[in-house]
Amino acid sequence: MEIGRQALQKGMRLQEARSPIDTLKEGHVFSGKTIKLLPGQMAEIAALGQKLTAQLEAPLKAGERYTFQVVSLEQGVSLRVLAENPAAKLPVDQVSVLLEKMGLQPTKENMAFTAAALQNGTALSKSLIQTVSGWLGKSGAEGIEAVRFMLSRHLPITENVFEALLAARSTGSMTEKLGSLQQLLVQNGFQQSTAAAAIDRLLGEAAETFAFKGTANEKAIQLASALQGTDTPEKAAAIRVLGQSVAANPSLAAQNGEALLAGIAKSTESSLNEAAAELRPVQLLKQALSQLTGSPVSEKAVTAFKQALSLSVPLGHPERPALMQQLVKLADGLEAGQPISQRAAASLLQLASSAAVSLPDQAAARMAVLIGADALSFEEPSAISTLRDAFRFLGVDHEAVLASKENAQSVPQTVKQELIKLMSDTMPAPIKEAAEQMVGRLNAQHILSAESGPVQQLVLQSPLQFGEFTGDVTIKWEGKKKADGKIDADFCRVLFYVEMPRLKQTVIDMQVQNRIVQLHIAADIPGPLLKKISSPAVGSLKEALEANGYRFSGVSFKEPAAVEKKKPPLARIMDDDRYMGVDVRI
């Protein structure tokens, strides 16, 4: 059920490049208007977005609309008239008559698809109507809207495209759906699977709610202490710092939680100067830790690790007895001749971290040596980098990355990759169906981002956790690309759809003209109250825009229409809702 953007664009271009004669087959039905009557019962007809000349079985009137059926293609196009389209008749009557002549029942699904197809200039066949009606019978009103979108955008009428668009119109955020899938994995005994770990990582641990403070050495001591804790925000923040610090090592940086700690424990990399005497004990500890965790447990490796840890902690250090007692307890739990578990490797690294920071004035450097990094990175992630990382790890561009890699093993892990694995027939049906729903939602982003004419559109949606915010972020960018293929940031429109904790459904419409920025904000509260809440931030927003070479024109506020509140963001994008009204202006 993968739909890559490049493959979709190629299919659309091929479809658009074909002439009506290439696409028509005997029995196809389409709507058209006679332009000119020609001798020999021939006529020039405007249909399917082009002009064609056809042989007619009965005389017609120029300038009138008709519904035609292809009789033959052997010696040019030969058509018969199935129905006239005079304004006096209701469309529903026309569709019923047409279906009857095609030998089909006037069911709700048959009529809805046939009417939409004729309105959008799509050629119909009996089998196509039956196929799409089967889809609509299982999907209801949202399915009809998905089909209308397919027809209006001239998308390939395939079940994969339909299912993707239907998933985009479904209620419930990606955050909620992935959380439900995570629960299904736990209930079915897959809590240790790579898919569960990937979803866990994407949904995030509340790392950003805790920040280490003080000097680099003080932060290192806090980090070591946080690693020894349970699953708290402090421990999550410590793991995030370690991941940032070993970012130069892709095999480690891509992991999180115990997998990251175990990977660091097995790593032999050490970037700092081995000649520094004060760092030598930690380097020995690092080597001993790597030997113990990287091969089956041996008494020699355990003894070497004990000695190295003892050398790393000063004799008079108040925590030395507790650390040595903890070491004995961990060592007793190791089974000789067996590979060490991920959990045990993580525990040993946590213990070694406490030993490494036992010299307060050298804590940061010693910790960096232990994890094999140039230095500890306590940089707090920005909203931009957090959002970018979320989109990448979600796997919106999974197919493009896969196509660009010669070796499949070098493709970084993504949530989409793991979801596709869950769609196999060997998985329980509830898990498979939930994964299919999520892959469909991701595929819909490719479909909605398809290029159409000079104006380009890019749609992205991902779960995000940043500060107090947890939920989906949906972005729609539209504008023109520059000659080099990059987005023109001087002239564009960007819409942000978010579910804010207090403002609820919030849409930020940012319009940029010649680097002049105008904002329109719609939230689920009255405009005057929204203005009062937002006013304190307007000044800093203006400064931030000017610092990046933009001019701030102003901001307006309004409450969205009731019909907009009921639609999920991707459905609103599909329906191309506009909300340009101005209620309050600063």
Rounded to an integer, the average pLDDT of 540-564 is: 88
Question: What pLDDT is attached to residue 273?
Answer: 52
pLDDT at 581: 40
Got the DSSP string for 205-232? -SGGG----SSHHHHHHHHHHHHTS-SS
C-alpha closest to that of 329 among 355, 311, 356, 302: 302
> What does the pLDDT read at residue 393?
85
Residues 227 and 360 grouped into a single domain? yes
Note whether 496 and 512 are within 8 A (CB): no
Cβ-defined contacts of 378-382 (< 8 Å, 24+):
378/212, 378/216, 378/219, 378/241, 378/244, 379/244, 380/208, 380/211, 381/208, 381/466
274 has a pLDDT exceeding 70: no
- Looking at the structure, do residues 357 and 437 belong to the same domain, yes or no? no
Token representation of residue 461: 């949606």
Asked whether residue 508 is domain-assigned, the answer is yes
Same structural domain, 19 and 112 = yes
- Find the helix or strand (DSSP H, E) in which 470 lies: strand 469-481
Judge whether 552 lies within some domain: yes
* Whether residues 43 and 129 fall in one domain: yes
Mean pLDDT of the 199-226 span: 78
Closest CA to 245 of 349, 412, 368, 364: 368
What integer pLDDT is reported at residue 85 of this predicted model?
Answer: 61
**CA–CA dist 78, 258 (Å, integer):** 70
Do 36 and 154 lie in one domain? The reply is yes
Q: Are residues 234 and 125 in the same domain?
A: no
Last residue of a domain, one of 162, 188, 222: 162
Q: Say how far apart CA 546 and CA 200 lie, in whole Å.
A: 38
What Cα–Cα distance (Å) separates residue 165 from each residue in 171, 396, 437, 475?
Answer: 12, 15, 10, 17
Q: What is the reported pLDDT for 20?
A: 52
156 and 217 inside one domain: no
Write down the pTM of the prediction.
0.68
Residue 3 lies in a domain: no
Mean pLDDT of 383-412: 72
pLDDT band, very low/low/confident/very high, at 275 (cuts 50, 70, 90)? very low
Same domain, 127 and 265: no
Of 339, 285, 278, the closest CA to residue 307 belongs to 285
DSSP 360: G
Q: Contacts from 288-291 at CB under 8 Å and sequence distance 24+?
A: 289/265, 289/348, 289/349, 289/352, 289/370, 290/265, 290/266
Split into its structural domains, the chain has a count of 3
pLDDT over 90 at 536, yes or no: no
Backbone angles phi, psi at 424, to 5 degrees: -70, 155
Q: What are phi and psi of 109, to 5 degrees?
A: -70, -45
Report whether pLDDT(341) > 80: yes
Which residue intervals of 246-279 are DSSP H helices? 250-253, 257-266
Is residue 480 assigned to a domain?
yes
Residues 239, 308 within the same domain: yes
pLDDT at 467 over 70: no
| pLDDT of 262 over the 70 cut | yes
Considering the domain boundaries, does residue 384 fall inside one? no
Express each pLDDT in 81-129 by its tens digit: 887 764 434 467 778 888 888 889 999 999 999 988 888 888 888 999 9
CA angle (431, 436, 438) in 5-degree steps: 100
Residue 252: strand, helix, or coil: helix
Query: Poorest-confidence range of 227-231, 378-382, 480-484?
Result: 378-382
Residue 105 lies in a domain: yes
Average pLDDT value for the chain = 82
- Are 218 and 72 part of one and the same domain? no
pLDDT of 134 higher than 50: yes
For residue range 356-368, what is the model confidence (pLDDT) as tens digits?
999 999 889 898 8
554 lies in the same domain as 438: yes
Domain that holds residue 145: 9-162
Which residues lie across from 100 on neighbouring strands?
none
Q: Is residue 409 part of a domain?
A: no
Tell me the C-alpha distance between 537 and 503, whole Å: 15
Q: Does one domain contain both 145 and 83?
A: yes
Residue 478 belongs to a domain: yes
